[in-house]
């Protein structure tokens, strides 16, 4: 509803769209900037369609957003870009296999844009299965224990084989908390990897229609974030990411780091904060000048029975919903909310039915995408600050009325 325009026509247009003729494969067009906050609305032109920003990218690690078909994502949710993961796809089915099928888009039958993460997050999440060296990361496969050495160059090669629209450089994502000394060493390593990866990418990208984003690291230290951002600017990349967040730090700290880092990145290029966040945090990131975000929360929490609604969370497995005939979220017009009762959704969850994951993911992802559409519209209309106030008032209201929190303080 908020997306505007008939979807089917737009879809056909993208599928026929020839490769971009210009020099830069990725073009970012800013349509409006909120004078009060600096939030931006724009259009990100890729070889696989135009992405209205700010945008939330559903996570499809293994070449699928779990529980959703590409048809759901395209026709029902109107997602314009999804994320996939180099580490997972490298292990299985492997870059050669994907390349053999003409790239990841064709392999998974997804005609819109794809961003691939480099495996840098797995440096953090697979801490017991990896060893970081100056040259790269030695991973022990979580599938069969095989050793694989990822370098800045090899991850670029893999992502080129996938045919990603946006590639990410290999980086080191540190846990929280980390010492300043560890963070500075790690940040310099990430910088060296970014330079090596970027050099390699420039040698190979001739005629390819994609872009490589470097990633700002520096843990929770503003001085390191600034130094890292400044160094990465020399690469003159078409877009920049802020990584190393959502690793266990307090929510406000993530916001602070983004607030000090985002303004240091080129104003005319997309800024991507990796791995965030809760629904109420999305407008806050946007107000810091962020254009792209991704997070597993809507999809993962969906499968775990945690549903995001316009009136707060609904943990559908709770006994209180057993005979609740209301729709999950009366203000949502996704298929799930239009069609099923909370009681039925709870039944499906309790019964362990596959359909629950499908319906829940459909809704949660839709909820995130709708929030971003509202944000984008408000920036275009010049009402973004009002929306931020509205959304934060709603979340305060939700906190105040939450039964568990009410008696706590």
Partner RNA sequence: GGACAGGUGGGUGAGUGGUUAAAGCCAACAGACUGUAAAUCUGUCCCUCCUUGCGAGGUACGAAGGUUCGAAUCCUUCCCUGUCCA
Which residue in 70, 163, 270, 275 binds RNA (CB under 7 A)? 275
- Helices and strands in the chain: count of H runs, count of E runs: 17, 17
- Which pair of tokens denotes residue 122? 């797995």
> How many C-beta neighbours within 10 Å does residue 136 have?
22
| 281 near RNA, judged by CB under 7 A | yes
The yes or no reply on residue 168 touching RNA (CB under 7 A) is: yes
Site track for RNA across 43-82, x = CB under 7 A: ----------------xxx---xx----------------
Nearer to RNA (CB atom), residue 233 or residue 278: 278
Residues constituting the chain:
409
Q: At what angle do helices 180-204 and 222-233 cross, to 10 degrees?
A: 20
The rounded distance, in Å, linking the Cα atoms of 268 and 377 is 20
72, 117, 165, 370: which one is catalytic? 117
Q: Which two tokens stand for residue 402?
A: 């939450």
Contact assessment for residue 363 and residue 307, using Cβ atoms and an 8 Å cutoff: yes
Respond yes or no: is residue 405 known to be catalytic.
Answer: no
- Choose, from 72, 171, 291, 294, the residue flagged as catalytic: 294
- Determine, following the binding rule CB under 7 A, whether residue 355 of this chain makes contact with RNA: no
245 touches RNA by CB under 7 A: yes
Decide if 292 contacts 266 (C-beta within 8 A): no
C-beta of 299 vs 336, nearer to RNA: 299
Q: Of the candidates 122, 186, 287, 378, which one interacts with RNA according to CB under 7 A?
A: 122
> Annotated catalytic, 294?
yes
Site string for RNA, 314-333 (x = CB under 7 A): -x-xxxx-x-----------
Interaction residues for RNA, span 379-408 (CB under 7 A): 404
**What token pair was written down for 226?**
């600034």
292-295 vs 271-273, strand pairing mode: parallel
Burial state string for 208-244 with b = 16 or more CB within 10 A and e = fewer than 16:
ebbbbbbbbbbbbbeebbebbbebbeebebbbbbbbb
CB 60 to RNA: min, Å: 7
Which are the catalytic amino acids? 117, 294
Binding site for RNA (CB under 7 A): 59-61, 65-66, 83, 85, 88, 117-118, 120-122, 124-126, 128-129, 142, 168, 171, 173, 215, 241, 243-247, 251, 274-278, 281, 294-297, 299-301, 303-306, 315, 317-320, 322, 350, 352, 354, 357, 404
């Amino acid at each position: 509803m908020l997306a505007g325009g008939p979807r089917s026509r737009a879809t056909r247009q993208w599928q026929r769209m020839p490769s971009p003729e210009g020099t830069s494969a990725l073009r970012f067009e800013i349509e409006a900037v909120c004078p009060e906050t600096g939030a931006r609305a724009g259009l990100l032109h890729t070889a696989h369609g135009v992405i209205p920003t700010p945008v939330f990218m559903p996570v499809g690690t293994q070449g699928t957003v779990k529980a959703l078909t590409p048809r759901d994502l395209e026709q029902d949710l109107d997602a314009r870009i999804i994320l996939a993961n180099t580490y997972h796809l490298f292990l299985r089915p492997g870059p050669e296999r994907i390349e053999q099928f003409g790239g990841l888009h064709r392999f998974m039958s997804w005609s819109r844009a794809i961003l691939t993460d480099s495996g840098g997050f797995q440096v953090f999440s697979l801490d017991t299965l990896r060893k970081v060296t100056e040259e790269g990361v030695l991973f022990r496969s979580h599938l069969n224990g095989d050793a694989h050495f990822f370098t800045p160059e090899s991850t670029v090669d893999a992502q080129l084989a996938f045919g990603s629209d946006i590639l990410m450089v290999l980086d080191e994502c540190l846990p929280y908390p980390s010492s300043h000394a560890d963070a500075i060493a790690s940040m310099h390593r990430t910088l060296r990897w970014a330079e090596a990866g970027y050099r390699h990418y420039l040698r190979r990208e001739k005629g390819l229609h994609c872009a490589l984003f470097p990633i700002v690291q520096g843990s929770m230290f503003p001085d390191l974030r600034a130094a890292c951002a400044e160094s990465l600017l020399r690469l003159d990349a078409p877009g920049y990411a802020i990584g190393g967040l959502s690793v266990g730090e307090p929510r406000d700290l993530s916001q602070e780091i983004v607030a000090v880092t985002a303004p240091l990145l080129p104003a005319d290029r997309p800024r991507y904060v990796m791995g965030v966040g809760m629904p109420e945090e999305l407008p806050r990131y946007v107000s810091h000048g962020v254009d792209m975000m991704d997070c597993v929360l809507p999809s993962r929490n969906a499968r775990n029975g945690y549903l995001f609604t316009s009136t707060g969370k609904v943990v559908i497995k709770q006994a209180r919903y057993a005979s609740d005939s209301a729709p999950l979220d009366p203000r949502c017009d996704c298929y799930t909310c239009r069609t099923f009762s909370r009681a039925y959704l709870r039944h499906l969850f309790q019964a362990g039915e596959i359909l629950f994951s499908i319906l829940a993911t459909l809704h949660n992802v839709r909820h995130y995408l709708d929030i971003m559409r509202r944000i984008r519209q408000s920036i275009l209309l010049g009402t973004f600050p009002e929306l931020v106030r509205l959304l934060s008032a709603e979340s305060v209201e939700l906190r105040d009325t939450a039964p568990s929190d009410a008696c706590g303080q």
